[in-house]
Structure 1
Amino acid sequence: MPAAPTAPDGILLVDKPQGITSHTAVSRARRALGTRKVGHAGTLDPMATGLLILGVGPSTRLLTHMVGLDKTYTATIALGAATTTDDAEGEVTTRADASQLSGDDLTTPIAALTGDIEQRPSAVSAIKVDGERAYARVRAGEEVELAARPVTVSRFEVLGFRPAASADRPAEVDVVVDCSSGTYIRALARDLGEALGVGGHLSALRRTRVGPFEVDGAPIADALPAEGAAELLVPPAAAAARILPVAQLDDERAANLMHGRRTPALEGERGIVAAIHGERLIGIARVSGSRLLPVTNFPVSAADPTV
């Protein structure tokens, strides 16, 4: 009797196009891979494009270690109009003449928005207020003012500036931003416009990097092949080794962790590590003193010699 096909397992990098939700991208990955077990490590708004990290099968357990990775975005900021959502999908609330702005005017306010800053998230963010998403409260007609929170913007660099053609047209700024998880690029656009006294909003956004993972070469999310999609998966051990230090296990240590037992830690192993045996991810482990303790284990095959 032929062996049953192996269920897909790994990390899938996809490039989300504009106009679809991240959940739609997840649904298309499920269809292409023939499994319901697909999750994501952070969404993008429908307006945005770029890198989505999807976990497939047991590798969904890795996503919790990817959510907090730093990110890179390219964006376009429109100066001269503020909106209800701080992006182009919202209704314009104020307009101002931005025709006198030049690229030199951006230097000081951008510097003030770079580094370790306190940022007030957009009212239409997914942050929960008394158990309900902020955006849901806004849609219900409530006024929502979220508290500022610390974020790190390690790079906020102007790539190009297009002056406003007239008093009723916006100026446009193309930027690249490196930032910590939890940073809202639309809030940077809003705050830059406020600092310049003309209002601002995000008119385009693309995520190009999440931690060590780049969007370059990732397939378009709505064009995943019906056959061969599993070949696009980054194997669990390779993915884990890109985001965590590696503890390379011999047979004995692998068997201990597989069965939920602590095992000796080697010199140099510390913190949270990817526990790898050969080319297989045994699990995520934590070093405590001289011991390696299992945190999250991955499925093992009965044919594995260490079982």
Structure 2
Amino acid sequence: MSGTSGILLVDKTAGITSHDAVSRTRKRAGTKKVGHAGTLDPMATGLLVLGINSSTRLLTYVVGLDKEYLATIRLGASTVTDDREGDRLDQASTEDIDAVTPEAVVAEIAKLTGAIEQVPSTVSAIKVDGKRAYALVRAGETVELRSRAVTVSAFELLGTRRVAGGAAPGTDTTDSTSTSTADTADTTYLDLDVRVECSSGTYIRALARDLGAALGVGGHLTALRRTRIGPFRVEDAADLATMVVADHLLSPADAAAALFPTIALDAQQAIDLTHGKRIRFADTADAAPVAALAPGGRLVGLLTIDSGVGRPLVNFPTDEVTA
């Protein structure tokens, strides 16, 4: 199926990178032209949106979509990476954890909801003077990232639980009840299960860090699962280990229809758009992008329509097999 084009939803497992997921998909799809829209940390699981062959052109429009996550925030310790894989910076006493009230948690979550300024996690892929921030940190350099405007449209507390003798940050485990030699016998944490809906570019690790700091006990992320990117949901994703790519591929037309309004072309309009010509539409509202479909349902391209004139943004090959 090396010539097939489409969008593939994949459920990434923990312990692999997004690049690993792309590499495995290339082998299964029999093509090198595979890209993804938005990375997940190795610790994280959940939805990756992949583009196969010419459908990688759609990924530009997926990257910036809003996202939904399920996460576990551990209050009581902060880490270098703001998640469980980083070395511990400090740990709160049991007395300090016990002093954190449910009302205080809810109040501080509310302050991190809406349009906020967020300083990204230092160990991140953000470039500083042309180099990745995480590379500078690992080289021993001090990195200060600027805050950025993000939108947290939902930050919902789903549940809480006390964890005695939990795993120390820096250990590779997902078992919140396991013990570590870095913890004392009376170590106590407070775990928060949360659901977050947010704009692209929001760091859930940074939300965990900032919530813990606001409550005075430190915080980091112990689990993260991406459940949605725009209209695409993890429930519809394929298992990376067992998937047959052809069985799960969304056609370019179906994927585009999920992302944009559509407009039906007649045969001549489809030819004209393929040749990069402008197309006139009667009584058509301004919009951009618009997915333009040929009479047989094939995605011809994406348009911008202004004052009844459709101008091509990107076209798709006419000879490529679609899912």
What TM-score results when the alignment is normalised by the length of structure 2?
Answer: 0.88
| Equivalence for 1:69 | 65
Q: Which ranges in structure 2 are unaligned for 5 or more consecutive residues?
A: 166-185
CA separation in 1, counterparts of 2:163 and 2:235? 32
Partner of 2:179: none
Identity of aligned residues (%): 56
Task: Give yes or no for contact 1:25–1:222 (8 Å, CA) kept in 2.
Answer: no
Aligned to 1:159: 158
Correspondent of 1:193 among 198, 203, 212: 212
1:224 CA drift (Å): 2.5
Contact (CA 8 Å) 2:294, 2:300: kept in 1 or not? yes
Aligned partner letter, 1:288: D
Distance 2:248 2:12 in 1: 15
Whether the 8 Å contact between 1:101 and 1:163 is mirrored in structure 2 is no
What residue identity is the alignment partner of 2:154? R
Distance in structure 2 (CA, Å) of the matches to 1:142 and 1:254: 55
SS in 2 for 1:299: coil
Q: Distance in 1 between matches of 2:187 and 2:310?
A: 63
- Contact kept, 8 Å, 1:120 with 1:149, in 2: the verdict is yes
Return the letter of the residue paired with 2:132.
Answer: R
Counterpart residue number, 1:293: 311
Aligned residue pairs, count: 296
Greater CA drift, 137-146 or 263-272: 263-272
Q: Any gaps of 5 or more consecutive residues in structure 1?
A: 303-307
Separation in structure 2 between the aligned mates of residue 82 and residue 215 of structure 1, nearest angstrom:
29
CA RMSD of aligned residues (A): 1.7
SS of the residue corresponding to residue 170 of structure 1 reads strand
Task: Give 3-state SS (helix, strand or coil) of 1:145's partner.
Answer: coil
Return the match for 2:288 from 271, 275, 279. Answer: 271
1:103-122 aligned within 5 A? 103-122=102-121
Which of these residues, 9, 27, 34, is aligned with residue 31 of structure 1? 27
CA distance in structure 1 between the aligned counterparts of 2:240 and 2:35, rounded to whole angstroms: 14
Alignment of 1:73-88 (within 5 A): 73-88=69-84
Aligned counterpart, 1:172: 191
SS in 2 for 1:47: coil
- Equivalent AA in structure 1 for residue 289 of structure 2: I
In the other structure, the counterpart of 2:99 is 100
Letter in 2 for 1:241: A
Question: Which residue is 1:256 aligned to?
Answer: 272
Could you tell which deviates more after superposition, 54-63 or 215-224?
A: 215-224
Query: What is the identity, as a one-letter code, of the residue corresponding to 1:204?
Result: A
Q: Identify the match of residue 38 of structure 2 among 20, 42, 45.
A: 42
Does residue 138 of structure 1 match 2:137?
Answer: yes
Q: Which amino acid aligns with 1:53?
A: V
On the 8 A contact 2:2/2:29 being kept in 1, the answer is: no
Which of 59, 66, 79 in structure 1 is aligned with 2:55? Answer: 59
- Of 246, 251, 262 in structure 2, the residue corresponding to residue 235 of structure 1 is 251
What's the CA shift for 1:289?
Answer: 2.9
1:268 CA displacement: 2.0
Deviation at 1:6, TM superposition (A): 6.8
CA contact (8 A) 2:162 2:188 kept: no
Any conservation in 2 of the 1:155–1:178 contact (CA below 8 Å)? yes
**Structure 1 length normalisation: TM-score?**
0.92
On the 8 A contact 2:2/2:30 being kept in 1, the answer is: no
